[in-house]
């Protein structure tokens, strides 16, 4: 089963990369952007076939390694 995770920076954390991307897009003519925030995307292919158990394990992975909860939020996307 494949489970996806999106990690984003928390609202109050400065994202200089997002800012530069925003400025660059702006310079390219995409001038109606309010803000760009850069994040991370993971695809985890697990042997676990039980949906609920798999999600719980991925959540544990997020807390222990994939995200740093001081600055990041994680969102687990429901497996299809």
Partner 1 sequence: MKSSVITFPGSNCDRDMDVALKKFGFKNKMVWHADTELPKSDLVVLPGGFSYGDYLRCGSMASKSKIMQSIINFANSGGMVMGICNGFQILVETGLVPGVLLRNKYLEFICKNVFVKINDKKNKYFKNVDNEVLEFHIAHNEGNYFCTNDQLKEIEDNNQVAINYCDRNGKVEDQFNPNGSIKNIAGIFNKEKNVLGMMPHPERMIDTSLSGEDGSLFFKNLINNLK
Q: How far is CA 29 from CA 19, 34, 66, in A?
A: 16, 14, 35
Whose Cβ is closer to partner 1: residue 14's or residue 52's?
14
- Cα separation, 69 vs 71, in Å, equals 5
- Cα separation, 30 vs 44, in Å, equals 33
Whose Cβ is closer to partner 1: residue 13's or residue 33's?
13
Region from 21-29, 51-59, 65-73 binding partner 1, contact rule CB under 8 A: 65-73
Of 32, 35, 45, 70, the one binding partner 1 by CB under 8 A: 70
The count of residues interacting with partner 1 (CB under 8 A) is: 10
Instruction: Tell me which residues touch partner 1 (CB under 8 A).
Output: 13-14, 16-17, 20, 65-66, 68, 70-71
């Amino acid at each position: 089963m494949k489970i996806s995770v999106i990690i984003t920076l928390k609202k109050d954390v400065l994202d200089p990369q997002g800012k530069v991307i925003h400025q660059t897009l702006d310079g390219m003519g995409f001038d109606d952007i309010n803000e760009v925030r850069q994040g991370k995307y993971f695809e985890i292919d697990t042997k676990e076939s039980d949906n609920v158990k798999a999600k719980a394990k991925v959540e544990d992975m997020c807390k222990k390694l994939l995200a740093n909860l001081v600055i990041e939020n994680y969102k687990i996307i429901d497996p299809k």
